[in-house]
């Protein structure tokens, strides 16, 4: 993961010299100060001014920079709760303050944290999933007929026979003729046979 950085050259071309690679820097996240050592080693002091210290912090103040070596200084920034930019200075000094360099830092408001409801991560149940399972009867109320006694079933069957015969008789009366009477007889025999099979012991 890339971390933004600012660079300060230490003792380049002459001792006790500090040279910032940039005069200004903008960020909304943590970044790194790179102390780039050159001709001779030295101790470097780092500090954040009061404004910048509101939203940023250093792990420590003093660093030893070796010759031709790069010393990273992580600077933690917390911009999550900011409503407007914060401007301050990152100051680097050496030789007990004899030489110093300052970088103007602008910390921009960070993106607001969005809290994700855990229920959003669960898939919604589709209408297909809500259909009755094979083990459940599609017309569950019909199961109630299993609790009806033999007498009641006989009464229901008798009613069905009467309705069927009445319908066949009405057709025969309207149509007339031998064919209509034959149809009536066939329907009557079929209904009686079906009822007989249903209640056969």
- Domain ranges, ordered by start, for the chain: 5-107, 149-201
With b for 16 or more beta-carbon neighbours within 10 A and e for fewer, the 153-170 pattern comes to eeeebeeeeeebeeebee
Band (pLDDT 50/70/90 cuts) for residue 47 is: very high
Distance CA 152, CA 10 (A): 105
Distance CA 128, CA 81 (A): 45
pLDDT of 144 above 50? no
pLDDT of 133 above 60? no
DSSP track, 120-136: GGSPPPPTTTTSPPTTS
pLDDT of 123 above 90? no
Q: What percent of the chain has pLDDT over 70?
A: 54
Q: What percent of the chain has pLDDT over 90?
A: 46
Q: Which homologous superfamily does the CATH classification assign to the domain defined by 5-107?
A: Immunoglobulins (2.60.40.10)
Radius of gyration of the chain (CA): 47
């Amino acid at each position: 993961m890339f971390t933004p950085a600012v660079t300060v050259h230490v003792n380049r071309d002459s001792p006790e010299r500090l040279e910032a690679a940039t005069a200004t820097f903008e960020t909304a996240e943590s970044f790194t100060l790179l102390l780039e050592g050159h001709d001779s080693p030295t101790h470097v002091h780092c500090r954040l001014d009061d404004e910048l210290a509101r939203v940023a912090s250093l792990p420590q103040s003093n660093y030893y920079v070796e010759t031709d070596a790069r010393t990273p200084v992580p600077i933690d920034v917390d911009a999550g709760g900011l409503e407007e930019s914060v401007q301050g200075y990152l100051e680097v000094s050496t030789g007990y303050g004899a030489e110093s360099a300052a970088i103007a830092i602008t910390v921009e408001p960070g993106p607001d944290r969005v809290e994700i409801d855990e229920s959003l991560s669960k898939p919604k149940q589709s209408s297909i999933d809500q259909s009755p399972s094979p083990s459940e009867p599609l017309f569950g109320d019909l199961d109630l007929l299993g609790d009806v006694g033999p007498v009641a079933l006989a009464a229901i069957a008798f009613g069905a026979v009467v309705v069927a015969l009445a319908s066949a008789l009405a057709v025969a009366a309207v149509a007339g003729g031998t064919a209509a009477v034959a149809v009536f007889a066939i329907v009557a025999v079929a209904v009686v046979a079906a009822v007989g099979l249903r209640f056969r012991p």
